[in-house]
Structure 1
Amino acid sequence: MDPVTHGLVGLAVASVSEEPILGAVSIGTTLAAMLPDLDIVMQCKGHLSYLKNHRGISHSILFLIGISLLIAGILTFIFPNTPFLKVLVWTIAGGLSHSLLDVLNSYGAKLLWPMRQKRYSGELLLSFDPVIIGLSLYMVFLNPSNSRIVTLKAGLIFLGYLLLRWMLKMNIYKEIFYQFGQKITIKNIKLLPAMTSIHKLHFILETKEKFIVGQVNILNKKFRIQRELEKTQIPIYEQVLHSIVGEFFHKFTPIYHLDIQDKGDYYYVIFTDLRFFIKNEFMYHATAILSKDLKTIEGIFHPYSFHQRVSII
Structure 2
Amino acid sequence: MDTGTHFVMGIALGGLATLDPVVIDGSSTAQAVLIGTILGSQAPDIDTILKLRNNAIYIRNHRGITHSIPAVLLWPIAISTVIFAFLPQADFLHLWLWTFLAVFLHVFVDIFNAYGTQALRPISKRWVALGVINTFDPFIFGIHVVGLILWGFHLPPGSLFLTMYGIIILYYITRFREQALVKRAVRQQIPNCHKIVLSPTMRFRRWKIAVMTDKKFHVARAENGQVIILDTFDRIPLPNSEVLEAAKHDVNLAAFLSFSPIYRWEIEKTEHYYAVRFIDLRYRSNGYYPFVAVVHLDYNLNILNSYTGWIFSEAKLQKKLNIIL
Same fold (TM over 0.5): yes
After superposition, the C-alpha distances for 1:146-173 in whole angstroms (9 at most, x for unaligned) are 444x344323322211111111111112
Q: Say if 2:118 and 2:126, in contact at 8 Å, map to a contact too.
A: yes
Q: Say if 2:68 and 2:119, in contact at 8 Å, map to a contact too.
A: yes
How far residue 129 of structure 1 moved from its aligned partner, in angstroms, is: 0.5
Aligned partners of 1:113 and 1:259: how far apart in 2?
33
Aligned partners of 1:104 and 1:54: how far apart in 2?
16
2:215 pairs with 190, 197, 209, which one? 209
Provide TM-score, normalisation by structure 2: 0.81
What is residue 145 of structure 1 aligned with on the other side? Answer: 156
After superposition, the C-alpha distances for 1:83-107 in whole angstroms (9 at most, x for unaligned) are 0011011001111121112111011
Which SS does the other structure have where 2:198 is aligned? Answer: strand
What is residue 188 of structure 2 aligned with on the other side? Answer: 178
What is residue 177 of structure 2 aligned with on the other side? Answer: 167
**Where in structure 2 are the equivalents of 1:108-119 lying within 5 Å?**
108-119=116-127
CA, structure 1 residues 216+241, in 2 after alignment: closer, same or farther (shift >3 Å)? farther
CA, structure 1 residues 292+7, in 2 after alignment: closer, same or farther (shift >3 Å)? same
After superposition, the C-alpha distances for 1:188-212 in whole angstroms (9 at most, x for unaligned) are 2222213x43321111121233211
Aligned partners of 1:135 and 1:44: how far apart in 2?
32
What is residue 249 of structure 2 aligned with on the other side? Answer: 244
How far residue 61 of structure 1 moved from its aligned partner, in angstroms, is: 3.0
CA, structure 1 residues 5+82, in 2 after alignment: closer, same or farther (shift >3 Å)? same
Which SS does the other structure have where 1:271 is aligned? Answer: strand
What is residue 31 of structure 1 aligned with on the other side? Answer: 39
Q: Say if 1:232 and 1:259, in contact at 8 Å, map to a contact too.
A: no
Aligned partners of 2:275 and 2:305: how far apart in 1?
10
Q: Say if 1:10 and 1:97, in contact at 8 Å, map to a contact too.
A: no
Which SS does the other structure have where 1:128 is aligned? Answer: coil
How far residue 119 of structure 1 moved from its aligned partner, in angstroms, is: 1.9
What is residue 136 of structure 1 aligned with on the other side? Answer: 144
Aligned partners of 1:192 and 1:238: how far apart in 2?
34
1:91 pairs with 99, 114, 119, which one? 99
Establish whether residue 4 from structure 1 lines up as the match of residue 12 from structure 2. no
Q: Say if 1:212 and 1:229, in contact at 8 Å, map to a contact too.
A: yes
What is residue 127 of structure 1 aligned with on the other side? Answer: 135
Q: Say if 1:48 and 1:310, in contact at 8 Å, map to a contact too.
A: no
Which SS does the other structure have where 2:277 is aligned? Answer: strand
Aligned partners of 2:237 and 2:272: how far apart in 1?
19
Aligned partners of 2:308 and 2:278: how far apart in 1?
10
The two structures, once aligned, show a CA RMSD in angstroms of 3.0
Q: Report which of the two has the higher share of helix.
A: 2
Which SS does the other structure have where 1:178 is aligned? Answer: helix
How far residue 27 of structure 1 moved from its aligned partner, in angstroms, is: 0.8
Q: Say if 2:12 and 2:161, in contact at 8 Å, map to a contact too.
A: no
How far residue 235 of structure 1 moved from its aligned partner, in angstroms, is: 4.5
After superposition, the C-alpha distances for 1:118-138 in whole angstroms (9 at most, x for unaligned) are 221111101110121133234
How far residue 142 of structure 1 moved from its aligned partner, in angstroms, is: 3.6
How far residue 267 of structure 1 moved from its aligned partner, in angstroms, is: 5.5
Deviates more, 1:72-81 or 1:24-33: 72-81
Q: Say if 2:297 and 2:304, in contact at 8 Å, map to a contact too.
A: yes
Give the aligned length: 303
CA, structure 1 residues 32+234, in 2 after alignment: closer, same or farther (shift >3 Å)? closer
1:69 pairs with 77, 89, 94, which one? 77
Q: Say if 1:72 and 1:88, in contact at 8 Å, map to a contact too.
A: yes
Provide TM-score, normalisation by structure 1: 0.84
CA, structure 1 residues 102+241, in 2 after alignment: closer, same or farther (shift >3 Å)? farther
How far residue 299 of structure 1 moved from its aligned partner, in angstroms, is: 5.9
Establish whether residue 260 from structure 1 lines up as the match of residue 271 from structure 2. no
Aligned partners of 1:247 and 1:304: how far apart in 2?
16
Q: Which amino acid aligns with 2:135?
A: S
After superposition, the C-alpha distances for 1:260-284 in whole angstroms (9 at most, x for unaligned) are 3466997543211122233432232
CA, structure 1 residues 279+157, in 2 after alignment: closer, same or farther (shift >3 Å)? same
1:229 pairs with 215, 229, 233, which one? 233
1:48 pairs with 22, 31, 56, which one? 56
CA, structure 1 residues 310+292, in 2 after alignment: closer, same or farther (shift >3 Å)? closer
Establish whether residue 154 from structure 1 lines up as the match of residue 158 from structure 2. no
